[in-house]
Structure formats: structure tokens, C-alpha cells
Amino acid sequence: MTRVLVVDDSRFMRTVIGNALTEAGYDVETAENGSEGVKLATTFEPDVVTMDVEMPEMDGIDAVERIMARNPTVILMLSAHTERGTEATLDALERGAVDFIKKPDGSGSRNIAHLVDEVVETVDDLAEADVSSVALAHAAATAYATRTDQPENAGQATMSTAGAEAGAGNAVAGGSSDAPLARDRGTSEPDTTPGIAPAVEFDEHATPVTVDGNCADAPTIILGASTGGPKIVEQLFERLPADLEAKVLVVQHMPPEFTTRLATRLDSLSAYDVSEATDRQRLRPGEAAVAPGNFHLEVASNVGDALRLKLDDDDRLHGVRPAIDVTMISAAERVSDALCGVVLTGMGRDGAAGIEAIKAAGGQTIAQDEETSPVFGIPCQAIETGCVDTVAPANGIVDAIVDAFRTDGENDD
């Protein structure tokens, strides 16, 4: 039986969430603060933890950090509907949590019922998904480094995903394609033993990649991700070379407040000028735009070396808005410069059709590998189309992107 640990300082929330999960068939334990949650994570050995953010004695941020350093576990954050709650949630996600849910801004019975249903549904998805033990070990290494190198938790925070869709591609361990795939060169198999954080070789603070050859002028990159994605997106932006002068569109399944913060934090870490996308925005080389929550992001036109962007609130696709497919398909239809589509960790199949469209249009396509994807649904579904050129680990994605745009003969494709 799948074990779930509910950590919340509210007795009421522990009771309603715990009862709902028990009725759904889970073995449930509860903790009233982060300190108790850390202890139970060791003794109860849960498969999934639901973690409140703001708690007395030890908050959710510190609890996540300690759990990931000792017992790498799938952690779902419950975020307060405030700016402070948003920022704290992103800090916790930087330390290894996989996903989050926003608490309602009201306490009415309908709001609580909706929250409980969403928690159960998300736990179902996470329990069924192929959550990589290696990716969790990478997160554990991050937590270990944070605790040893930055004792006051002063490190830059990153984000993880929200709004993960239910549906096809949630449990796709070991998925394969008959199409030959080019493996990113120069990478090694990471340690697969969870719980031994220092032994995991995963340099998430690697220096930026250099462009040491001829590359296409003003290329366009589309990055798509869901569950577990923003932490990896942040790592990519830290390494993306400024002299590539790319135009970058990021589609991450997150609600509005979080996409705004994602753009701000990416901008602070990257050599690129990053903003949340606006309707009719002109995106130029060296700039990046993040699709805002609740809006699809399209490429309306490619004039000169700039892209004209379009936002719309059309129906959700694959249950999400923004959808990766919408952005990738529009880019495949309208981008005249060199184009590369990249799909990262996440549940569902959003992005598979977009990868097919980019490949059909003559673009390059990249998928994150299974070992470093916290959830392998989205990359696996893309790989199974037979249209992925390169499969690379998280810390090899930027190298693969640069290789995809080479014009000096180094790119075999």
C-alpha cells in the first residue's frame, strides 16, 4: 500500500486531507510541523509527502531540505495564496520538492473540498508516475550542498512545477522508441543510490557553455516542461551562452503568480533578458519570454531577427494552459530562423505533437533523459513519436542545444 505523510500545522487540514487520502486507499500518517515530519519521513518511509509551507518550529522549506538530504522522497507542497507564500513555495521547490498546489484564498467548505480533491488527484498522479530515484538523489545532493555550503539558506532559489496534468504518459518507465537516438556526448551514468547525497555527481552550478564554433544566427529555442521542470529550466538558463544570441520561449505548467516569479528569477540568473510574455511582444536575440499562467503562448510572426508573440485564452489543451504543443506548433509554422524544441520532465503528453511539428519543419529536437527526469512522462511521449534527435541528461541539455545549432559540420544532423 502506498504510504503518504501529511505535514500541516492545522489539525483541521491534517484531518480532512488525511481522511480523504485514507478513503482513497492510502496508508496515511500525519505530522503537525516540519520537525515531526522529518522524523516520520525516516520511520514511516512515505512514498509521497504533502507539506505545508508556513509552520511553527520548522517550516516547510527547512523540512524539505532535511528530508531530501536524508530520505529522498516525492514531496508535494501546499502553498498559501499570497506573494510570501509563493516565494516560500519556490524556495522549498528549489530544495527538491517535485510539485505544488495553491491553497484557496478562502476557507469556505467548497474551497476546502476543491483543495482536498486536488491533493488526492495529484497524489494519485505522483504515486502512479515514474518518479526517478536518480532525480530524487540529485535533489538530495542539492539539499546537502545547500545545508553544508550555505548554512543560512541564502542560496538562490529556483522553481518547480504546478498544474501537472493527469492523463497519458504519467507512468511510462522504460519507454522506448524504434528510432535511433543520439546520446549527448561526454556524460556519465550518475550514482543511482538514493539517500547518499554527497555521492551523486550532478553539477547544477556548472559554468556557462561556450560557443566554440560557427552557429546559426539568432536561433529560436522552445523549452517545455511540467512536473519538476523549473528547477531544471533554471539550471539551463544559468549555462545558456549569451553569444548564442538565441530567442527563447519557455512553457511551464504553472499558475499566473508563479510564472511571473519564474521569469523574474530566471532573469536574475541568466545572461538573457527574461520576462513574462505579453501580447504582441517583440522577442529579439538574447531575450527570453515565459508563457504566463492561464494563457497559451504563440509565435504570431518572424520578421527579421525578431519574433512577434501572441497570447490567447483559448480552451485548455491536454488539460493545461499554457500548453507546450501550442507554442511549438506555432513556432514550427512561423519561425524562419534555426529552431530547436526541447521537452523536459513532466507528467502527461503535452509537447509530443509539438516535437513532431518542429521535426517536420526541419528543426532540431531534444528530450531530457529518463534518469534525470523527476517524471519521465512528457519526454517519453515525445521520444515515442520517433521525432527526437537527441536524448540528454539535465546537465547536458545546453550542450545539446548548442550542438543542434552548429553550422561548422560538428552537428551530424
**Rounded mean pLDDT, 299-323:** 97
Share of the chain above pLDDT 90, in %: 64
Q: Which pLDDT score, from 0 to 100, does residue 345 have?
A: 93
Evaluated on CA atoms 388, 389, 390, 394, the torsion sign reads: negative
Q: Which pLDDT score, from 0 to 100, does residue 195 have?
A: 28
Catalytic (active site) residue 413: no
Catalytic (active site) residue 10: no
Superfamily of domain 3-128: Response regulator (3.40.50.2300)
Low-confidence winner among 155-159, 234-238, 266-270 (lowest mean pLDDT): 155-159
375: pLDDT strictly greater than 70: yes
Q: How far is CA 138 from the centre of its chain?
A: 14
Q: How far is CA 379 from the centre of its chain?
A: 12
Question: Peptide bond before 322: cis, by omega within 30 degrees of 0?
Answer: yes
Q: If pLDDT is split at 50, 70 and 90, which confidence band does 374 have?
A: confident
Instruction: Give the integer Cα–Cα distance in Å for 160 and 350.
Output: 17
Q: Which pLDDT score, from 0 to 100, does residue 139 have?
A: 60
Please report, to the nearest 10 degrees, the dihedral formed by the alpha carbons of residues 243, 246, 251, 255 taken in order: 60
Catalytic (active site) residue 226: yes
Spans of all domains in the chain: 3-128, 182-404
Assign domain 182-404 to a CATH class: alpha beta
pTM of the predicted protein model: 0.80
Output b/e per residue, 117-129; b: 16+ Cβ within 10 A: ebbbebbbbbbeb
Instruction: Give the integer Cα–Cα distance in Å for 136 and 114.
Output: 29
Of 59, 350, 369, 399, which is the active-site residue? 350
Instruction: Give the integer Cα–Cα distance in Å for 75 and 6.
Output: 10
R_g over Cα of the chain: 20
Summarize pLDDT for 74-103 with one digit per residue, the tens. 999 998 766 777 888 888 888 888 899 988
312: pLDDT strictly greater than 80: yes
Q: Which pLDDT score, from 0 to 100, does residue 107 have?
A: 63
163: pLDDT strictly greater than 70: no
Instruction: Specify the amino acid at residue 163.
Output: G
As given in the structure block, the three cell numbers for residue 140 are: 538530495
Are 393 and 187 in contact, with CB atoms under 8 Å apart? yes
Please check whether the two domains, 3-128 and 182-404, share a CATH topology: yes
Low-confidence winner among 121-130, 243-252, 287-296 (lowest mean pLDDT): 121-130
CA distances from 169 to 110, 129, 175, 293, 347 (A): 30, 8, 10, 22, 6
Q: If pLDDT is split at 50, 70 and 90, which confidence band does 208 have?
A: confident
3-class DSSP string for the chain: CCEEEEECCCHHHHHHHHHHHHHCCCEEEEECCHHHHHHHHHHCCCCEEEEECCCCCCCHHHHHHHHHHHCCCEEEEEECCCHHHHHHHHHHHHCCCCEEEECCCCCCHHHHHHHHHHHHHHHHHHHHCCECHHHHHHHHHHHHHHHHHCCCCCCCCCCCEECCCCCCCCCCCCCCCCCCCEECCCCCCCCCCCCCHHHCCCCCCCCCCCCCCCECCCCEEEEEECCCHHHHHHHHHHHCCHHHCCEEEEEECCCHHHHHHHHHHHHHHCCCEEEECCCCCEECCCEEEECCCCCEEEEEEEECCEEEEEEECCCCECCECCCHHHHHHHHHHHCCCCEEEEECCCCCCCCHHHHHHHHHCCCEEEEECCCCCCECHHHHHHHCCCCCCEEECHHHHHHHHHHHCECCCCCCC
For residues 166 and 91, the model is more confident at 91
172: pLDDT strictly greater than 70: no
202: pLDDT strictly greater than 50: no
Of 160, 226, 270, 330, which is the active-site residue? 226
Q: Which pLDDT score, from 0 to 100, does residue 212 have?
A: 75
Of 125, 138, 160, 253, which is the active-site residue? 253
**Rounded mean pLDDT, 174-192:** 33
Instruction: Give the integer Cα–Cα distance in Å for 298 and 331.
Output: 7
Q: If pLDDT is split at 50, 70 and 90, which confidence band does 146 have?
A: very low
Which residues neighbour 346 within 8 Å (Cβ) at sequence distance 6 or greater?
Answer: 161, 164, 224, 225, 226, 227, 228, 229, 253, 375, 377, 378, 379
Q: If pLDDT is split at 50, 70 and 90, which confidence band does 16 have?
A: very high
Nearest Cα to Cα of residue 197 among 146, 133, 137, 131: 137
Average pLDDT, the chain: 83
Q: How far is CA 390 from the centre of its chain?
A: 19
**Rounded mean pLDDT, 328-340:** 97
Residue 297: burial class (beta carbons within 10 Å; 0-12, 13-18, 19+): buried
Q: If pLDDT is split at 50, 70 and 90, which confidence band does 230 have?
A: confident
